[in-house]
Amino acid sequence: MDNPELYMETLQKDGFLIIGNIFSDTEVDHMLALINLADSSVLLFPKQSELFAIRQFFTKVPGTFDLVFNDKLRKLISALFGDDFFVVKSIYFDKPSKSNWFVSWHQDLTISVDQKEEVTGFDFWTVKQNQFSVQPPVDILEDNFTIRIHLDKTTEDNGALKVIPGSHLKGVLRTDVPGFSKAAGFCCNVERGGIMLMKPLLYHSSGRTTNGLQRRVIHVEFSRSELPQQLKWAERQNRRIVGFSRNSY
């Protein structure tokens, strides 16, 4: 790793970080081969020209966990965040070549839990695909982070994320605040095999595909927060992600 201190400084300041060459073409091809073998019953949406996805990805596509957490990614996580974080959500998204699907500006404000229980500070409950989501206290969101693994070269023309740098530092925001829609978004171009790290409170969106190329991404969310005893992380992976000392870099 070139400079973990600079990486963390950038992530804390801007709310996102792009790093290339985490996965080789062979590793990406292996992940895609396992995904292509997945039965249609695991798809969040039916496979079609617009969109499909696999929720609870690591559970429903066996073998991908060890491929995703190769030596490079494990060492990166250890150097930046230490050894306390664990996986709390994993989703595979495929924006196919003919997709006209876009996502408007938003923050990732919810977490997935095992059941609905009235707990102080946990609000705005929803249920999607038989999974409960809730907005936790903001300090949990501020501490969490996400890694997006890019299985295709991604640019503005095939739906790369656009972000508003530094927006994660402003807490939970509304998109109707004066001047927000005029804020300049930064397009996060990522090479095949590269990753994007981001904070959940970072404002982000993605546009439609216009160049006829796919955009396939594995989205993994991490936390080190223990929830109140009435709630459990719905997708918590207790498998050890890292076993490296921060001092080794």
Q: Which residues pair with 167 in a beta bridge?
A: none
Average pLDDT, the chain: 88
- Contact, 114 vs 231, CB < 8 A? yes
Question: In this prediction, what percent of the chain has a pLDDT beyond 90?
Answer: 69
In the structure encoding, which two tokens stand for residue 46, read together? Answer: 């039916």
Number of C-beta neighbours around residue 103 at 10 A: 14
Distance CA 178, CA 158 (A): 29
How far is the C-alpha of 14 from the C-alpha of 55, rounded, in Å? 28
Residues 196-230 as b or e (16 or more Cβ within 10 Å = b): bbbbbbbbbbbbebeeebbbbbbbbbbbebebeee
- Supply φ then ψ for residue 50, to 5 degrees: -95, -50
Domain that holds residue 107: 4-248
**When comparing pLDDT for 98 and 27, which is higher?**
27
182 pLDDT tier (thresholds 50, 70, 90): low
Report pLDDT for 173.
Answer: 85
What's the order of all strands across the beta sheet hosting 186-187?
A: 103-106, 204-206, 161-163, 186-187
pLDDT band at 247 (very low <50, low <70, confident <90, very high): very low
Q: Please state the domain count of the chain.
A: 1
> How many Cβ atoms sit within 10 Å of the Cβ of residue 235?
22
How far apart CA 135 and CA 138 sit, in angstroms, is: 8
- pTM of this prediction? 0.91
Mean pLDDT score, 120-147: 94
Residue 246 scores a pLDDT above 50: no
78 class by beta-carbon count within 10 Å (0-12 exposed, 13-18 middle, 19+ buried): buried
CATH of the domain at 85: 2.60.120.620
Average pLDDT (72-99) is 91
Model confidence band, residue 131 (pLDDT cutoffs 50, 70, 90): confident
Q: How many residues does the chain have?
A: 249
pLDDT over 60 (residue 248): no
Query: Tokens in use for 246?
Result: 């921060």
